[in-house]
Structure 1
Amino acid sequence: MDAVQSGQSFTVTRDGHRVGELTPLRQRQHFIPRDEFAAMPRTAPGPFLDAFRADQDAAEQEPDDPYGRRLPCSNM
């Protein structure tokens, strides 16, 4: 447990077969005072509207099908 606490990970096996992993837990987030949290939007970078619109335009186009298949469509 001391090794895991210091950051080491271990693979757990049974009869030579992997059955799990023993890994350290992620560190907990540090407390952020309310005033700092409230000030974050004021110091954050602004939105990149041109890049956002370009991403939206790209997403609206049909993706390329690497296998050249077409889906059947119903004309009802």
Structure 2
Amino acid sequence: MDAVEHGETFIVTRDGHQIGELIPLWRRRRFVSRQEFAAMSRNSPAIDLDAFRADQDAAADHGAGGAYED
């Protein structure tokens, strides 16, 4: 378990056949600074805002009536 905790991965076998893998669970950071986010986003594709809105409208059921409608 110490090895897994330090990043090692192990293949679990039974009778010489692989049946599983023991891998570490990496803890993710919850906070990303504005500078890190900007650096990660620098090479992302541009967003077509009209297409994005059309996708959102297509996914939302505007005719279902909300919880506050009569």
TM-score (structure 2 length as normaliser): 0.44
Q: TM-score, normalised by structure 1?
A: 0.41
